[in-house]
Chain A
């Protein structure tokens, strides 16, 4: 079983749609949680950290459920520029900042 699993993609949605990505992690020593965004042939960039209380950044909302070991990302009012691969990432406790990446879910927003 992969340590971080994400919804298989790709997700093809029209502009303005709301899209949700799900992610589960298996290691209970996971300490910190993130969503990264990776554009085609580019480096990953931090989109947002994910906190237990849930957090929002503009059109993006992230949720964490530690009991279920589940993380989600909601994108409202999708823009063409949101097209990218979204990576669910966890950091393990006391392992030198090691990040564990999910495979990523590809999002394509169409006009």
Chain B
């Protein structure tokens, strides 16, 4: 069973479109995260939710909106996609926001043309 899953794995879309990426974890964890890995391979946190409550909101354009319908899911919606949004987006989860290992999903490779 996949612990942290993301859909879709690949997403190719045109500038200006709106798209969503979904993440689900079956580990029973309370905390979930979204990270972005750009072309230079830097992984940077975007958002974190703990029990459906937003706890980390980095300096991210407000075109990006996370939604957590329950603590097992954290989705990422992106409006008006731009070329610079092309990256790999990783979802992760941890038992709580404390000193615990974070488990990453397989990533969603987004290409904006």
**A residues engaging B (CB < 8 A)?**
31-32, 41-46, 85, 87, 91, 95-101, 103-104
Contacts and interface: CB of A to CB of B under 8 A. Distances in A.
A46 B56 contact: no
B41 A44 contact: no
A44 B43 contact: yes
B89 to A, nearest CB: 11
Interface residues of B, number: 26
A44 to B, nearest CB: 5
Interface stretch (B11-19, B60-68, B78-86, B92-100): B92-100
B100 A97 contact: yes
24 contacts: A41-B109, A42-B106, A43-B104, A43-B105, A43-B107, A44-B43, A44-B104, A45-B104, A46-B102, A85-B41, A91-B99, A95-B56, A96-B31, A96-B48, A96-B56, A96-B97, A97-B48, A97-B94, A97-B98, A97-B100, A97-B102, A98-B48, A99-B45, A101-B42
Contacts, number: 50
Contact of B55 (A31, A41, A96): A96
B44 interface: yes
Contact of A99 (B42, B102, B105): B102
A42 B56 CA distance: 24
A101 B99 contact: no
A87 B43 contact: yes
B25 to A, nearest CB: 13
Nearest to B31: A97
Contacts of A100: 45
A97 B56 CA distance: 9
Nearest to B107: A43
